[in-house]
Amino acid sequence: MNSGTPGGGPPTPLRVPCLHNPKHHEVRAHIEGQQFVWLDYEGPSDEDLAELAKIINLHPLTVEDAHHFRQRPKMEEYDGYFFMVVFGVDAGTKSGGPLLREVHLIISGDYVVTIHRRAFAPLADLRKRYGDVSVRSEQFLVYKILDAITQTFVPVLGRVDDDIDDLEEEVLNAPTTDDLQRIFSLKRDLVAMRRVITPMRDMFARNADRLAEWPGLQTDDRLYFRDLYDGLIRVSDLVDSYRDLLSGTTDMYLSTVANRQGEINRQLTIIATIFLPLTFLTGFFGQNFGSLVRWMNSEWVFYVFGLGLLVASVIGFAIYFRRKGWV
C-alpha cells in the first residue's frame, strides 16, 4: 500500500489501527479508507467471517479454511492476499494439556487479519503495544505478529528443560510412577510441538522472500522474515534435543527401577537361603520319634545341637555371603 520514502531510504513510520473483534462497519470503514489495519478475530461467528469475506473479497476456499481449525501449517497465495496457518503454544497450559494454539492469517497490502478460537495472550499484548504507537512499516507489523506467535515456544521449552533436570534428579534418587507419567506428558508436549514446528520451518524457508516482496506491503528489511526461519530452526533443534534427553531419562528410570527390583530380589533370596537350613533343622528335630526324643532329653544336647546348629548355620551363611560380596 505504501512504498516507503523516496530514494530507497528507511520506511516512513505509520499508525496502524489494531482492532479486536471489530464490528462490520468498522472493518468496512478502514478498508474503504485504504488505511492499513490489523483485524484480530477471537472465536468469530460464521456471520463475522461471511461479512469479512464480502468486504475484502475472499476466495471461498479461504473462507472454508478460516472456519476449520486443526489444520497443518501452510501458506497459500490467492489473488491479492496470502492465507497462512501458523501455530504457537499457551505457556499457561499444564504439561500434557492442549498446548497448541492455531492462528489463521490473511495478509494483504491493505490489511492483516488474524483468526483464532480463544484468547491468545501474545496477540493481546501486541495489540496493546502497537495500538497507540507508530510502527516502522506494514511488513514490520506482519513480522511482529508472526514473531509473537512463534516465539511462544521458547518459554515453554525453557520450562521443559527445567522439568527434565528435576526428573533426572528424582529418577536417580527415588523413582516413582508419577515420574514416569511426567515423562510421558513431556513427550506428548514435544511431539505436538514438533508436529507443527517442522512444517512451519520449511514453510518460512520456502516463502519468506515471497512474503517480503508481496505487492502493496511497505518495503522493509527482508531479514525480518528470515529471522523467523532462524528462530524456528533453533526451536526445532531444542525440541529434538529434549526428546533425546527424555528418551535417556526414560531409560534411566527403567534401569533404576530394574536395579532396585534386583536388589530387593537379592535381599529376599538371602533371607530365604538363611531360613532354609533353619526350617530343615527345626523340622527334623521336631519329629515325634522315640529315638529322637530320648537323646534330646539332656539340656546340653538341646543347646548344642538344637540351638547350636541353628546359630552355626546362620553364621556360616553370613560369612559365605560376605566373601561373595552379597552383603
Nearest partner of 239 among 204, 187, 200, judged by Cα = 187
Residues 158, 234 within the same domain: yes
Highest mean pLDDT among 69-73, 83-87, 277-281, 290-294: 83-87
Residues 208, 78 within the same domain: yes
Query: For residue 148, what pLDDT is reported?
Result: 94
Residues 202, 307 within the same domain: no
138 part of a folded domain: yes
- In whole angstroms, what is the distance from residue 168 CA to residue 248 CA? 9
Q: What is the pLDDT of residues 199-246, one digit of tens each?
A: 999 998 887 777 767 665 655 556 777 888 889 999 999 999 999 998
Cα torsion 25, 31, 33, 34 to 10°: value is 170
For position 44, which CATH number holds?
A: 3.30.460.20
Residues 214, 314 within the same domain: no
103 part of a folded domain: yes
Q: Into how many domains does the chain fold?
A: 2
Residues 6+ apart with CB under 8 A from 326: 266, 270
262 part of a folded domain: no
Task: Estimate to the nearest angstrom the gap between the alpha carbon of 140 and the chain centroid.
Answer: 28
Residues 315, 231 within the same domain: no
Helix (H) or strand (E) holding 309: helix 308-324
Question: Do residues 47 and 72 lie in contact, with contact meaning Cβ atoms separated by under 8 Å?
Answer: no
Residues 226, 290 within the same domain: no
* H helices present in the chain, as ranges: 24-32, 46-56, 60-67, 121-130, 138-150, 153-173, 177-212, 223-285, 290-295, 299-301, 308-324
35 part of a folded domain: yes
Residues 178, 81 within the same domain: yes
- In whole angstroms, what is the distance from residue 13 CA to residue 218 CA? 10
270 part of a folded domain: no
- In whole angstroms, what is the distance from residue 72 CA to residue 50 CA? 23
Residues 106, 177 within the same domain: yes
Q: What is the pLDDT of residues 242-277, one digit of tens each?
A: 999 988 888 888 887 777 777 777 777 777 777 777
275 part of a folded domain: no
> Residue 310 has what DSSP assignment?
H
Half-sphere exposure of 254 (CA within 13 A, CB side): 6
Residues 159, 252 within the same domain: yes
- In whole angstroms, what is the distance from residue 214 CA to residue 106 CA? 13
Nearest partner of 325 among 266, 283, 279, 272, judged by Cα = 266
Residues 167, 118 within the same domain: yes
**Residue 203 forms beta bridges with which residues?**
none
Range name among 133-137, 240-244, 269-273, 293-297 with the lowest pLDDT average: 293-297
Structure-block grid coordinates of residue 306: 538344637
Domain that holds residue 320: 286-324
- This prediction has a pTM of 0.75
Query: For residue 91, what pLDDT is reported?
Result: 84
207 part of a folded domain: yes
239 part of a folded domain: yes
Residues 246, 305 within the same domain: no
**Residue 115 forms beta bridges with which residues?**
41, 104
Residues 6+ apart with CB under 8 A from 173: none
Residue matched to cell numbers 521336631: 286
Q: What is the pLDDT of residues 138-183, one digit of tens each?
A: 888 888 999 999 999 999 999 999 998 988 888 888 888 888 888 8
Residues 157, 223 within the same domain: yes
